[in-house]
């Protein structure tokens, strides 16, 4: 069961507003919807939410301005910015401490990004998440490191200059397995080290052999459990 949180949604576009509000409400969150930057700024100042979900394009301003305002409070507010696929904007959001979700937005991708932004209290993973000691890996053949893993997904880090190649689906490889695994990036943020980008992803494979191989990799990888449900 997902723990209810206070979520402020800033969405001028009706189709996006309707979708994300319904998804958040279905997950049990308390949702407030505003349509423009001015109302959002006032709402943030009066009662900082647990999560701010904002479109990037907000007239003369943008969602990154709101992210900066929310995070300046030094508050518990997590920020998720929704916008067009753009590695530069994603990196800018990460430097502010926000997550960036590229359009088009699906319910699965949105829910995963919300769960990651809000943290363990709303984590809906069906298996424990294992922290691994920067396990060497490749993403579409480029150097990367796995940071944590579960049966349903993973988080990896790679150089910021390489992160521009992240697409709807990429392939992750590691010396611990002969199998390369297709995954779907869900969110990106600033990495633990300067010049690095952190990316959360869900598994994209459907064949039983690859799924079993991934689970074997998670079980065999060194590290310790971060959380469980």
What confidence tens digit (pLDDT) does each residue in 40-95 have? 988 887 778 899 999 999 988 889 988 888 876 456 789 999 999 998 888 888 87
Strands (E), 60-150: 61-62, 78-83, 99-102, 129-139, 142-149
Q: Maximum Cα–Cα distance for the chain, whole Å? A: 54
Which CATH number among 3.40.50.300, 1.10.620.20, 2.70.70.10, 2.40.10.220 corresponds to the domain 129-224? 2.40.10.220
Instruction: Give one DSSP letter per residue of 151-198, joined into a string.
Output: SSEEEEEEETTTGGG--SSEEEE-TT-S--EEEEEEEEEE-SSTTEEE
Write down the pTM of the prediction.
0.56
Q: How far apart are CA 85 and CA 149, in angstroms?
A: 25
Its CATH class, for the domain covering 6-122, is: alpha beta
Q: Are 170 and 139 spatial neighbours (Cβ–Cβ below 8 Å)? A: yes
Please tell me if the domain spanning 6-122 has the same topology as the one spanning 129-224: no
Residue 91: which residues within 8 A CB-CB, separation 6 or more? 160, 163, 188, 190, 197
Strand 78-83 with 99-102, pairing? parallel
pLDDT range class, residue 142, cuts 50, 70, 90: very high
Mean pLDDT of the chain: 85
pLDDT range class, residue 187, cuts 50, 70, 90: confident
Domain ranges for the chain = 6-122, 129-224
Q: How many helices (H) and strands (E) does the chain have?
A: 6, 14
Q: Quickly count: other Cβ atoms within 10 Å of residue 174's Cβ.
A: 21
Residue 203: which residues within 8 A CB-CB, separation 6 or more? 152, 153, 154, 181, 182, 183, 184, 211, 214
Q: How far apart are CA 112 and CA 91, in angstroms?
A: 19
Mean pLDDT of 118-131: 62
């Amino acid at each position: 069961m997902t723990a209810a949180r206070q979520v402020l949604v800033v969405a001028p576009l009706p189709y996006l507003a309707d979708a994300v509000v319904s998804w958040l409400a279905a997950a049990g969150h308390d949702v407030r919807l505003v349509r423009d930057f001015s109302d959002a700024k006032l709402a943030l100042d009066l009662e900082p939410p647990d999560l701010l979900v904002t479109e990037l394009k907000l007239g003369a301003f943008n969602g990154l301005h709101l992210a900066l305002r929310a995070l300046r409070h030094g508050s518990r507010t997590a920020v998720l910015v929704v916008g067009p696929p753009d590695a530069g904007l994603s990196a800018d959001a990460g430097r502010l401490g926000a997550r960036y979700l590229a359009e088009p937005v699906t319910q699965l991708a949105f829910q995963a990004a919300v769960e990651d932004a809000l943290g363990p209290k709303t984590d809906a993973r069906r298996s424990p998440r294992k922290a691994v000691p920067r396990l060497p890996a490749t993403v579409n053949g480029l150097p990367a490191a796995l940071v944590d893993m579960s049966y349903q997904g993973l988080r990896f880090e790679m150089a910021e200059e390489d992160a521009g190649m992240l697409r709807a689906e990429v392939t992750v490889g590691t010396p611990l397995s002969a199998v390369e695994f297709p995954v779907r990036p869900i969110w990106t943020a600033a990495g633990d080290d300067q010049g690095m980008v952190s990316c959360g992803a869900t598994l994209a494979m459907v064949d039983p052999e690859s799924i079993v191989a991934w689970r074997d990799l998670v079980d065999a990888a060194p590290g310790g459990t971060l959380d469980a449900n």
